[in-house]
């Protein structure tokens, strides 16, 4: 009986709705026609058509204390990006706006020195007798300054089987001047005080008429002899441990074995929206532990190897800085036979098999050691924290 009464009540309500005047329905659905006035003036409907502007994302990561009582700021950055001035699909200023929307603090636009398929004839020709490889930086810089984004001058060197990014350089044109010799290009970048890292170390050319770059089919990645040569000269300072959507676990070990800086980047060519969607916190970025929010401090951190990668809910880096980042991000309190973990950051942690969500709390049984399963300090080597 109760079910029958409920059915009749709902049916009656539906009938009432069905007999509502059309104007009433329009009012309820916010579809009321807009006034046209006398019809002789423009009717402004921007408030109806334009979407509400989403605020830039804020990423919370506490400062990391130092031994001298000070603290490093954790800056969020991307140091491998492309625009229409090489093989990207957006203008330089778009990279600035995307970075601000994503909550990044610093970026480097690293268009190829040698490869410009979007320019007529494949050559960077902006005006008669004018080849300017600094153009993307120069176009983006005013907007970056306006938005208080740190913009680092950079370029990608691809005149070989191996690709490199040179950042914190002074003039990409001087590097382009020796374009026929990739070793000379690295040398010029270093002479300018630039930081050079090896890009996507597993990338090989699989063109049928050209063999892979020193790799046979199925052969694992390795530190090539030619890379070793320029590294010994001091012309390679870091390596990408994550690029785009690819993770190179062995590169974490190379950072320890060869004292390299780990770098995590997007290598983005399409728009942010078409690549990762809007404000995707899983997108790759490099966390830079810098003394202050300046380009000079970011550069110092790179050469001091104070960088940690964050991508696909993984933290990737050298043990000393990954541990310091964890201890500043997660507060551990003992209560009886339990431990309470409070995450002060937006970085999720997997403690064993239990999730400590961003800005969340997790209670576990008391233990002498934590294994942070999604924070890696080497190949197949998760971070371990001694309580």
Query: Where residue 373 sits, what CATH number does that domain have?
Result: 2.60.40
Contact 243, 267 (CB under 8 A): yes
Contact 95, 104 (CB under 8 A): no
Tokens encoding 371: 């294994």
Residue 264 domain-assigned? yes
Residue 250 sits in the same domain as residue 280: yes
Nearest to 218 by CA among 206, 226, 200: 206
Residue 275 sits in the same domain as residue 137: yes
Residue 41 domain-assigned? no
Residue 380 domain boundaries: 325-386
pLDDT confidence bin for 30, thresholds 50/70/90:
low
Please identify which residue in the block is written with the tokens 């916010």: 30
Residue 233 sits in the same domain as residue 268: yes
Q: Which of 317, 346, 363 is the last residue of a domain?
A: 317
Q: 99-128, pLDDT tens digit by residue? A: 999 999 999 999 999 888 887 666 666 555
Residue 10 domain-assigned? no
Q: Say yes or no to pLDDT of 314 above 50.
A: yes
Q: Say yes or no to pLDDT of 3 above 80.
A: no
Residue 237 sits in the same domain as residue 289: yes
pLDDT of 51 reads 83
What is the Cα–Cα distance from 256 to 259, expressed in whole angstroms? 5
Give 261: exposed, middle or buried? Use CB within 10 Å, 0-12, 13-18, 19+.
buried
Residue 214 sits in the same domain as residue 73: yes
Classify residue 180 as left (phi > 0), alpha (psi -120 to 50) or beta. Answer: alpha
Higher pLDDT, 335 or 241: 241
Please identify which residue in the block is written with the tokens 């709390």: 361
Q: 48-67, pLDDT tens digit by residue? A: 888 888 899 999 999 999 88
pLDDT of 204 reads 56
Residue 121 sits in the same domain as residue 173: yes
pTM: 0.87
Tokens encoding 297: 């401090």
Residue 7 domain-assigned? no
Q: Which of 171-180's residues contact partners 24+ apart within 8 Å by CB, and which partners?
A: 171/134, 172/113, 172/133, 172/134, 172/137, 173/131, 173/132, 173/133, 173/134, 175/113, 175/133, 176/113, 176/114, 176/131, 176/133, 179/113, 179/114
Residue 361 sits in the same domain as residue 338: yes
Contact 368, 332 (CB under 8 A): no
If one counts the domains in the chain, the total is 2
Q: How far is CA 354 from CA 170, 221, 344, in A?
A: 47, 33, 17
Tokens encoding 76: 């969020």
What is the Cα–Cα distance from 264 to 76, expressed in whole angstroms? 11
The predicted model gives 23-43 an average pLDDT of: 65
Strands 106-109, 330-335: pairing kind? unpaired
Residue 13 domain-assigned? no
pLDDT of 12 reads 45
pLDDT confidence bin for 11, thresholds 50/70/90:
very low
Q: Say yes or no to pLDDT of 25 above 70.
A: no
Residue 238 sits in the same domain as residue 349: no
What is the Cα–Cα distance from 215 to 100, expressed in whole angstroms? 39
- For residue 265, the domain's CATH number is 3.20.20.140
Q: Which of 289, 317, 345 is the last residue of a domain?
A: 317
Residue 162 sits in the same domain as residue 294: yes
pLDDT confidence bin for 6, thresholds 50/70/90:
low
What secondary structure does DSSP assign to 341-375, as a single string? EEE-SS--EEETTEEE-TT-EEEEE--SEEEEEEE
Q: 167-221, pLDDT tens digit by residue? A: 999 999 999 999 999 999 999 999 999 999 999 998 655 554 554 455 555 667 8
Tokens encoding 243: 């690029």
Q: Which of 317, 344, 362 is the last residue of a domain?
A: 317
Residue 247 sits in the same domain as residue 141: yes
Residue 242 sits in the same domain as residue 307: yes
Q: 283-295, pLDDT tens digit by residue? A: 999 999 999 999 9
pLDDT of 130 reads 60
What is the Cα–Cα distance from 121 to 116, expressed in whole angstroms? 8
Query: CA torsion sign, 112 to 114 to 120 to 126?
Result: positive
Residue 282 domain-assigned? yes
Residue 57 domain-assigned? no
Alpha helices in 197-330 (DSSP H): 225-232, 249-257, 272-276, 295-303, 319-329
Residue 211 domain-assigned? yes
Stretch among 1-15, 167-181, 224-238, 324-338 having the lowest mean pLDDT: 1-15
Residue 305 sits in the same domain as residue 381: no
Helix (H) or strand (E) holding 310: strand 307-311
Q: How far is CA 320 from CA 46, 373, 377, in A?
A: 52, 17, 9
Q: Say yes or no to pLDDT of 224 above 70.
A: yes
């Amino acid at each position: 009986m109760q079910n029958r009464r409920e059915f009749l009540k709902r049916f009656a309500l539906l009938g009432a709705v069905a007999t509502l005047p059309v104007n009433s329905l329009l009012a309820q659905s916010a579809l009321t026609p807009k006034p046209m006035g006398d019809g002789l003036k423009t009717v402004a409907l921007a408030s109806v058509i334009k979407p509400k502007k989403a605020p830039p994302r804020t990423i919370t990561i506490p400062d990391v204390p130092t031994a001298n009582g000070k603290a490093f700021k954790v800056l969020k950055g991307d140091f491998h990006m492309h625009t229409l001035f090489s093989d990207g699909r957006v203008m330089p200023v778009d990279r600035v706006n995307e970075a601000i929307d994503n909550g990044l603090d610093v970026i480097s636009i690293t268009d190829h020195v040698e490869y410009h398929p979007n320019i007529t004839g494949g050559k960077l020709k902006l005006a008669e007798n004018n080849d300017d490889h600094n153009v993307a930086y120069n176009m983006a810089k005013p907007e970056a300054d306006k938005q208080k984004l740190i913009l680092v001058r950079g370029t990608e060197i691809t005149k070989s089987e191996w690709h490199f990014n040179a950042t914190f350089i002074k003039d990409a044109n001087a590097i382009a001047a020796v374009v026929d010799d990739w070793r000379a290009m690295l040398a010029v970048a270093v002479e300018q005080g630039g930081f050079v890292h090896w890009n996507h170390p597993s990338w090989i050319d699989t063109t049928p008429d050209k063999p892979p770059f020193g790799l046979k089919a199925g052969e694992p990645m390795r530190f090539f002899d030619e890379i070793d040569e320029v590294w010994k000269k001091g012309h390679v300072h870091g390596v990408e441990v994550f690029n785009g959507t690819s993770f190179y676990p062995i590169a974490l070990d190379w950072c320890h074995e060869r004292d390299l800086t780990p770098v995590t980047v997007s290598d983005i060519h399409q728009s942010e929206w078409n690549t990762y969607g809007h404000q995707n916190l899983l997108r790759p970025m490099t966390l830079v532990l810098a003394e202050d929010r300046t380009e000079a401090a970011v550069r110092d951190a790179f050469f001091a190897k104070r960088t940690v990668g964050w991508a696909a809910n993984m933290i990737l880096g050298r043990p000393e800085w990954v541990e310091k980042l964890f201890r500043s991000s997660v507060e551990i309190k003992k209560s009886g036979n339990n431990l309470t973990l409070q995450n002060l950051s937006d970085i999720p942690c997997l403690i064993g098999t239990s999730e400590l969500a961003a800005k969340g709390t997790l209670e576990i049984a008391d233990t002498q050691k934590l294994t942070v399963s999604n924070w890696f300090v080497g190949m197949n080597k998760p971070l371990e924290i001694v309580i």
